[in-house]
Amino acid sequence: MYYVGIDVGGMSLKAGLIDENGNIVKKMSVKTVPGRKGELIVGDLATLIKDIIKEAGIDEKEVGGVGMGFPGSVWDEKGIVRYCCNIDFVNIPMVKLLKENGINYPIYISNDANCAVLGEAYFGAAKGAKNVVLITLGTGLGTGIIVDGRLLTGNKSAGSECGHMQINIGGAICGCGKKGHYEAYASATALLRQAKDACEKHPESMLNEEFKKKGYEGYVIFECAKAGDETAKKVVAKYIKYIGMGAVSLCNIFFPEYFLVGGGIANNSEIIAPLQRYISRNIYGSKYNPKIKVLAAKHLNDAGIIGAACLAIHGSSAL
């Protein structure tokens, strides 16, 4: 059997046709038009699902289901997308509308970070693990959590929003508008803000000069740190500490086998090894409790579609 995984983003809708072993057979994507009404985007999604099956040249009877991940609040069991701040989705009965648009397969939906952690536990860096915490570092900070083999979603699937843990009362403003949240310090957006602040204090730095040449991009910070620029090195060290502060709290609560870091920024070797050391030093009972392995998530840009397909492959959030 094959399964369709859809990664719904503010800039594009990405689809993948996945086999039972987590291999991507076919990929497609379409851009989302800014300001396009949610109901119209549902139509785009239905067309994308039909198109990828047709383009792959497989019989519709070979498709076992569709899974979809959304960057916002999703009521999984009811098939409702409650709210996505970057897309015009407010209380959209997604599954119902897709059925009305001719999608007659079983359809499962969830938050995109929830999908990502499922993909890693089924087919990725944490394959076979029953307790996993994943953070995704991007514009915001998403979290996916698996406890004792089940995806942790909370009341009406509104939980696991750990990017909005408060780690500094009255601190930096988060994307949600409140202050001091984990996301406001450990997202990729926060890293760039911290780097810009450092450059204002150190205009003579290599980091400042490279930003002028290449633009404000996260990879520039890590390149400069590798090259020995003191300003960049201090920015990276402080940023890892911020990631670690939230990570240690999550590890103390859930004590996973694996703590995974997703998002493009996770590819930088300057993050994973220092974060491993920080967590190992600071978790409760570090000398006596099981070790927690820190790894970069495996699937990178395909995490959304593979993870979403996992919802359909297993027909539930249970591993």
Over 228-239, what HEC string results? CCHHHHHHHHHH
Domain count, the chain: 2
The pLDDT of residue 83: 86
Per-residue pLDDT, averaged over 275-299, amounts to 94
The pLDDT of residue 55: 92
151 located within any domain: yes
Characterise 128 by phi-psi region: left (phi > 0), alpha (psi -120 to 50), beta (else). Answer: left
The pLDDT of residue 316: 55
Per-residue pLDDT, averaged over 178-183, amounts to 95
214 located within any domain: yes
Neighbour-count burial of 213, counting CB atoms closer than 10 A to its CB (0-12 exposed, 13-18 middle, 19+ buried):
exposed
For tokens 């059997």, what's the residue?
1
Same structural domain for residues 114 and 135?
no
Instruction: Give yes or no for residue 101 having a pLDDT over 70.
Output: yes
Same structural domain for residues 254 and 270?
yes
Same structural domain for residues 72 and 216?
no
The pLDDT of residue 34: 65
Same structural domain for residues 263 and 230?
yes
Q: Tens of pLDDT along 11-48?
A: 789 999 999 999 999 999 998 776 677 778 899 999 99
- In 3-state terms the chain splits into helix, strand, coil percentages (rounded to 5) of 45, 25, 30
The pLDDT of residue 175: 84
234 located within any domain: yes
Helix (H, G, I), strand (E, B) or coil at 296: strand
Domain residues for the domain of 14 are 2-119+302-314
291 located within any domain: yes
Same structural domain for residues 211 and 66?
no
The band of 317, judged by pLDDT with boundaries at 50, 70 and 90, is: very low
125 located within any domain: no
Same structural domain for residues 7 and 110?
yes
Range with the poorest average pLDDT among 137-141, 221-225, 291-295: 137-141
Same structural domain for residues 107 and 197?
no
45 located within any domain: yes
**Interatomic CA distance for residues 129 and 203, integer angstroms:** 46
Range with the poorest average pLDDT among 46-55, 67-76, 307-316: 307-316
**Interatomic CA distance for residues 99 and 139, integer angstroms:** 32
Structure tokens at 283: 């978790």
Q: Residue 17's domain is classified under what CATH number?
A: 3.30.420.40
26 located within any domain: yes
Instruction: Give yes or no for residue 318 having a pLDDT over 80.
Output: no
Same structural domain for residues 152 and 266?
yes
% of the chain residues with pLDDT over 90: 76
Calculate the average pLDDT of the chain: 91
Write down the pTM of the prediction: 0.89
The pLDDT of residue 259: 97
Instruction: Give yes or no for residue 315 having a pLDDT over 80.
Output: no
The Cα diameter of the chain in Å comes to 63
Same structural domain for residues 156 and 232?
yes
The pLDDT of residue 319: 41
% of the chain residues with pLDDT over 70: 97
Same structural domain for residues 188 and 217?
yes
Instruction: Give yes or no for residue 204 having a pLDDT over 50.
Output: yes
Same structural domain for residues 160 and 275?
yes
309 located within any domain: yes
**CB contact set of 208 (below 8 Å; sequence gap of 6+):** 199, 202, 231
Q: Tens of pLDDT along 263-281?
A: 877 777 789 999 999 999 9
Same structural domain for residues 51 and 33?
yes
